[in-house]
Every structure is written in C-alpha cells, then in structure tokens.
Amino acid sequence: MALLTILEFPDPRLRTKAQPVTVFDAQLKQLVADMFETMYAAPGVGLAATQVNVHQQLLVMDMSEDKSDARVLINPRLLEKSGEQIFQEGCLSFPGIYADVERALRVKVAAQDVDGKHIEFEVEGPLAVCVQHEMDHLAGKVFVDHLSSLKRSLLLKKLDKKRKQSA
Ligand code: GNR
Ligand code: NI
C-alpha cells in the first residue's frame, strides 16, 4: 500500500477530464487500495483519481464514521437527479477552506465496481453531495466553480493566506 500525493488548487492538472477505465486488473485494484489509504489518512470522505493525478474515471468514498461504507465507483454516470440542498463542502485539494454549495438532493448513478460489474444506486443528502463533488473532479471541475465570482475570490484569498501562514 502507498500514500498518494494529493494535487492542490490551482494545479492545472485538476482541470483534466478523466478517461474511461477499460482494464479491470490487479493494477486497478492496487490503485483503489492506495486511494482508500490516502483518503482515510487525509482524512477525507471521498477522493477522485484526478486528485492523485490519475486521469481515469474512478472515485472512492466513505462517509461513515467507522470505515463501514467504503464505495468504489468506476466510470460513474448520473442517471437522474432531483431536488436541491445546500451543504457546507470542503475539498482535500483546498485545505482549510469551506463553502456552502447548492446541489441536487437525490441522485441515481450507474457505475462499475472494481471487477467491472455494472452497479446502480440512488443516494440522497450528504452521500449525494459527495457523489456529485467527486464526479465533478473527474470532469475537471472543483467545488468553488459553483460559487459566485465574489465568493470564489474571497475564498481563494483565504486559501492563499493560509498557505503563507503555514509556509
Ligand atoms: O473530505 C471531504 N469532505 C467533504 C465535505 C463536504 C462535501 C464534500 C466533501 S469531499 C472531501 C474530500 C474531497 O476533496 N474529495 O474530492
Ligand atoms: Ni474534492
């Protein structure tokens, strides 16, 4: 197992659009294991391959408190979405900053598991936030893209300041 390096904004590689996974082999399983290790160590509740500079459609998440709800989504597709919610989000690529983001309340997703088997499920609330946040990463999108330009520039200044303090 290995801890992977998480790219931080404004790294342009975070804007890369991920390509579909086509090979479901031992190397993919190793990458999934390393992504879980990296996510739990951070600690975070989700991690998209984009954030560890792997530009394949792959994400992991676990919003439980005891590592009991580990999920792997490969080649995820949004089938349906409904409702709205506002949730305070953070992102491992923006350490220490948080903002309210509006997203769908409920999403239905199709994906493949680590063996390539088709899966389909529906989630709502915080889990739906996480799925949408991670799927954004795979499309080269980040949570501050959902904010007004005024809010975004205030947050990015805050991120800059935090970096200077810790430098
Ligand atoms: O760890 C994370 N917490 C979080 C909190 C609210 C909404 C979304 C997230 S995802 C984030 C990890 C991350 O950056 N995933 O891409
Ligand atoms: Ni993120």
How does pLDDT run across 111-156, given as a tens digit for each residue?
999 999 999 999 999 999 999 999 999 999 999 999 999 999 999 9
Q: What is the mean pLDDT of residues 23-46?
A: 98
Q: How far apart are CA 121 and CA 157, in angstroms?
A: 38
Looking at every residue in the chain, the average pLDDT score rounds to 97
**Considering every ligand atom, which ligand is closest to the CA of 87?**
1
Taking the centre of ligand 2 as the mean of its atom positions, its distance from the CA of residue 91, in whole angstroms, is 4
Ligand 1 neighbourhood includes 129 CB (under 6 angstroms): yes
Number of alpha carbons in the 13 Å side-chain half-sphere of residue 158: 13
How does pLDDT run across 87-96, given as a tens digit for each residue?
999 999 999 9
Taking the centre of ligand 1 as the mean of its atom positions, its distance from the CA of residue 19, in whole angstroms, is 22
| Alpha-carbon torsion, ordered 162, 152, 73, 66, to 10 deg | 50
With 90 as the cut, is the pLDDT of residue 1 above it? no
Taking the centre of ligand 2 as the mean of its atom positions, its distance from the CA of residue 166, in whole angstroms, is 21
Q: Within 10 A of 70 (CB to CB), how many other CB atoms are there?
A: 14
Q: Within 10 A of 137 (CB to CB), how many other CB atoms are there?
A: 24
Ligand 1 neighbourhood includes 59 CB (under 6 angstroms): no
Q: What is the mean pLDDT of residues 92-119?
A: 98
Q: Within 10 A of 102 (CB to CB), how many other CB atoms are there?
A: 11
Inter-CA distances, 76 with 8, 18, 29, 131, 158, Å:
23, 11, 17, 9, 32
Q: How far apart are CA 1 and CA 72, in angstroms?
A: 17
Q: What is the mean pLDDT of residues 31-48?
A: 98
Query: Which residues are designated catalytic?
Result: 134
Q: What is the pLDDT of residue 39?
A: 98
Superfamily the domain 12-162 falls into: Peptide deformylase (3.90.45.10)
Nearest CA to ligand 1 atom 4: 90
Q: What is the pLDDT of residue 166?
A: 86
Q: How far apart are CA 47 and CA 143, in angstroms?
A: 13
With 90 as the cut, is the pLDDT of residue 161 above it? yes
Q: What share of the chain in percent tops pLDDT 70?
A: 100
Nearest CA to ligand 1 atom 6: 89
